[in-house]
């Protein structure tokens, strides 16, 4: 049984009109330019107050290649929403959600690290999981499995970075 908020979303939010439900989660597929406004509406008007995750999927050889995925939760409605948008490899960038959800900062860094997707407006996209000097993005489907990374000098742990 669907949460009542899903019917309200479909009625009041244009982006949700054709949305489907998968595994009890409302799934919204948006254009890249509609993400921030829709997420603002989800947070402010429908009480989806918790950002759970930001991730991506590499659909190589499809075009657009990448799908950026956000998972939201409403502590009021006890319901989840998944928001997705597609981005091409040539312009693999979306706007950051950090001004809306402060929790977006680290998963955006992780997504940038693993897939090379940029989050415009996130002022700190330093490597989070990989070391500085790592070449490539290991969750891309064309990342060489047997590739070797350049050696970097060992850092003295007693000295600040």
pLDDT per residue over 93-120, tens digit each?
Answer: 999 999 999 999 999 999 999 999 999 9
**What is the pLDDT, as a whole number, of residue 17?**
79
pLDDT of residue 52: 98
User: In the 3-class helix/strand/coil scheme, how is the chain assigned residue by residue?
Assistant: CCCHHHHHHHHHCHHHCCCEEECCEEEEEECHHHHHHHHHHHHHCCCCCEEEEEEEEECCCCCCCEEEEEEEEECCCCEEEEEEEEECHHHCEEECCCCCCHHHHHHHHHHHHHHCCEEECCCCCCCCCCCCCCCCCCCCCCCCCCCCCCCCCCCCCCCCC
The fraction of the chain above a pLDDT of 90, given in percent, is 79
pLDDT higher than 80, residue 125: yes
pLDDT at 86: 97
Q: Which of 150, 107, 99 is nearest to 125 (CA)?
A: 107
Query: Given pLDDT bands bounded at 50, 70 and 90, which one contains residue 56?
Result: very high
Average pLDDT, the chain: 93
Q: 161 pLDDT band (50/70/90 cuts)?
A: low
Q: Give the pLDDT of residue 159.
A: 78
**Predicted local confidence at residue 42, as pLDDT:** 97
Stretch 22-46: mean pLDDT: 95
pLDDT, position 124: 94
The domains found in the chain, sorted by start residue, are: 4-120 (3.30.460.80)
Q: What is the pLDDT, as a whole number, of residue 148? A: 84
- Please compute the mean of the pLDDT values over residues 34-60 and round it to a whole number: 97
Query: Would you state the pLDDT for residue 37?
Result: 96
pLDDT band at 82 (very low <50, low <70, confident <90, very high): very high
pTM above the 0.85 mark? yes
């Amino acid at each position: 049984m669907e949460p009542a908020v899903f019917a309200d979303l479909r009625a009041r939010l244009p982006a949700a009109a054709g949305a489907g439900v998968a595994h009890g989660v409302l799934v919204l597929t948006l254009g890249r330019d509609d993400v921030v406004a829709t997420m603002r509406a989800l947070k402010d008007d429908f009480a989806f107050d918790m950002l759970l995750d930001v991730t991506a999927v590499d659909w190589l050889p499809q075009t657009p290649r990448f799908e950026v995925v956000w998972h939201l939760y409403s502590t009021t409605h006890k319901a989840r929403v998944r928001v997705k948008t597609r981005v091409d490899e040539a312009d693999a960038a979306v706007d950051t959600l950090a001004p809306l959800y402060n929790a977006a900062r680290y998963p955006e860094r992780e997504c940038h690290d693993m897939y090379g997707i940029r989050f415009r407006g996130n002022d700190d996209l330093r490597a989070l999981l990989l070391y500085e000097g790592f070449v490539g993005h290991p969750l891309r489907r064309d990342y060489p499995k047997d590739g070797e990374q350049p050696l970097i000098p060992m850092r003295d742990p007693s000295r600040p970075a």
